[in-house]
Amino acid sequence: MPSSIHSITDFFYALDELKLVNRKSYVTGAARYENSAEHSWHLAMACWAMAEYLPYEYNQEKLIKLALVHDLGEIHAGDTFLYSDKRQDADEEERKGVELLQNHEGNPIHNLLAVWDEQEYGESEETKLLKVMDRVLPFLLNVQSEGKAWQENGIHAHQVEKAHAFIADINPDVHAWFKEKIAVAVSKGWLKV
């Protein structure tokens, strides 16, 4: 437990640094990049909404906690673009960042690292939904911005298909929706062939 109100407020400052991490997705309206704190909030809300919508039983408290912690490691490591060839190793640096937060003298959340590990490596139904929604939201922002980030970064349709292929096993309907939207993006020139 934190030793004083000063140490816990220092922990709050450390968490606030997530707002400084920019992603490669544009916010609605395409005026600026989304930051990782905004994405985490959006993900938590989307997961909660989907848990209410889908005909499955989810531990919603667990799901929302997974969403809230899922990008905390980016405070230390920065955001790794989904289509980057460095994506495979991003979890190692991000985990180091979460370890720093776990060990922060002001952190009263005893299982912060365990929750982060669950969202990164776990196989629970909550983790599966989180991973799907973590792909849905930036995809939606790319569709809404007419592929602005895809175009700026030279992204090809096959890269998007590969990054979302795992969804076919978790939710075939959502995967079919992705395939349909990818075809639209190609036809409009938002994604390279």
Q: pLDDT of 145-160, one tens digit each?
A: 999 999 999 999 999 9
Dihedral through CA 191, CA 176, CA 48, CA 82, nearest 10?
-30
Across the range 109-123, mean pLDDT stands at 97
- CATH 2.40.110.10 correct for 5-187: no
Predicted TM-score (pTM) of this structure: 0.94
pLDDT band at 88, cuts 50/70/90?
Answer: confident
Q: How many residues does the chain have?
A: 193
50-79 burial: b if 16+ Cβ within 10 Å, else e: bbeeeeeebeeebbbbbbbbbbbbbbbbbb
Q: Alpha-carbon distance 76 to 67, whole Å?
A: 18
Q: Alpha-carbon distance 170 to 175, whole Å?
A: 9
- Main-chain phi, psi angles of 110, to 5 degrees: -65, -25
Mean predicted lDDT score pLDDT of the chain? 95
Q: Are 24 and 149 in contact (CB under 8 A)?
A: yes
Q: Are 40 and 65 in contact (CB under 8 A)?
A: no
Q: Could you give the percent of the chain with pLDDT greater than 70?
A: 98
Q: Alpha-carbon distance 26 to 193, whole Å?
A: 22
* Cα–Cα separations (whole angstroms), residue 185 to 4, 17, 59: 53, 34, 35
Q: pLDDT of 157-182, one tens digit each?
A: 999 999 999 999 999 999 999 999 99
Per domain, the residue ranges of the chain are: 5-187
Q: What is the pLDDT of residue 2?
A: 61
Q: pLDDT of 20-71, one tens digit each?
A: 999 999 998 879 999 999 999 999 999 999 999 999 999 999 999 999 999 9
